[in-house]
């Protein structure tokens, strides 16, 4: 009887552990819907804000530059205004570029070196056409109508480097893609160091994820 009792306890323990693992994995894979209109509006507001900031900074620089001092925006305090984290902002620009077929927004989300390698994988000399091809293949000719994003309990934190997106298309197809983002620190001055984030996953790799096996 005692042996059966121990076996029963062990069995219950194993089942409990399995359930806990399942709940933890399921929770970590939770995808949260994103309002596409709000996301695009936020990007537009930030672009407008940054443009105004740069204009005011240049105006200030021209008034305060001494002699032949060379103007350099990097000399001045950067604009750190943002309603979202730098990590999430990268995804916002990436998605807005896809939704609006906007080359500037789309390319600004990528690491420069990664993007350059992607563009020169194509024999097409007009690199703008290469970007348009990538956008069309990821967006499936502009048919994205929904987005969900994986949110960890702490959100997309400073140590996060992978983001899971689920794109929903007008024909009912949904595709999950995993994107890697990475920070790169730059010195604005001796006292101030800042980090900017960008996508380090190849754009062609994202295309492969979209055009792979239908789930």
pLDDT digits 0-9 by tens, 9-34: 666 767 666 555 544 444 455 889 99
The domain ranges of the chain are 87-185+194-214
Q: Where are the alpha helices (DSSP H) in 36-126?
A: 36-64, 86-100, 103-108, 112-119
Q: For position 75, what pLDDT does the model report? A: 46
pLDDT in tens, 132-177: 999 999 999 999 999 999 865 444 555 558 899 999 999 999 999 9
Residue of 209, 176, 213, 180 lying closest to 197 (CA atoms): 180
Which has the closest alpha carbon to 74: 56, 50, 54, 59?
A: 54
Q: What is the pLDDT of residues 106-131, one digit of tens each?
A: 999 999 999 999 999 999 999 999 99
Distance of alpha carbon 20 from alpha carbon 150, whole angstroms? 20
Three-state SS annotation for 110-122? ECHHHHHHHHCCC
Q: What is the pLDDT of residue 211?
A: 95
Structural class in CATH, domain 87-185+194-214: alpha beta
pLDDT tens for 50-107 read 777 677 777 766 666 665 555 555 544 455 556 678 888 999 999 999 999 999 999 9
Mean pLDDT of 187-211: 79
Q: How many CA atoms lie within 13 A of 110 on its CB side?
A: 23
H or E element, residue 31:
strand 31-33
Task: Write down the pLDDT at residue 13.
Answer: 63
Position 11 scores a pLDDT of: 63
């Amino acid at each position: 009887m005692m042996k059966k009792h121990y076996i029963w306890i062990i069995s219950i323990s194993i089942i409990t552990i399995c359930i806990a693992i399942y709940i933890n994995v399921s929770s970590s894979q939770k995808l949260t819907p994103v309002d596409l209109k709000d996301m695009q509006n936020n990007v537009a507001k930030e672009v407008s804000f940054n443009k105004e900031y740069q204009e005011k900074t240049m105006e200030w620089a021209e008034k305060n530059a001494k002699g032949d001092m060379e103007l350099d925006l990097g000399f001045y305090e950067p604009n750190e205004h943002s309603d979202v984290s730098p990590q999430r902002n990268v995804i916002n620009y990436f998605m807005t570029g896809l939704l609006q077929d906007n080359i500037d927004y789309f390319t600004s989300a990528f690491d420069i070196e990664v993007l350059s390698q992607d563009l020169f994988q194509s024999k097409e000399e007009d690199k703008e056409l290469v970007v348009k091809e990538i956008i069309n293949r990821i967006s499936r000719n502009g048919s994205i109508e929904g987005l969900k994003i994986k949110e960890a309990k702490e959100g997309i934190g400073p140590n996060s480097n992978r983001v899971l997106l689920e794109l929903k298309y007008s024909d009912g197809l949904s595709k999950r893609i995993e994107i890697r983002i990475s920070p790169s620190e730059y010195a604005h001055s001796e006292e101030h160091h800042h980090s900017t984030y960008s996508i380090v996953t190849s754009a062609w790799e994202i295309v492969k994820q979209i055009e792979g096996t239908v789930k």
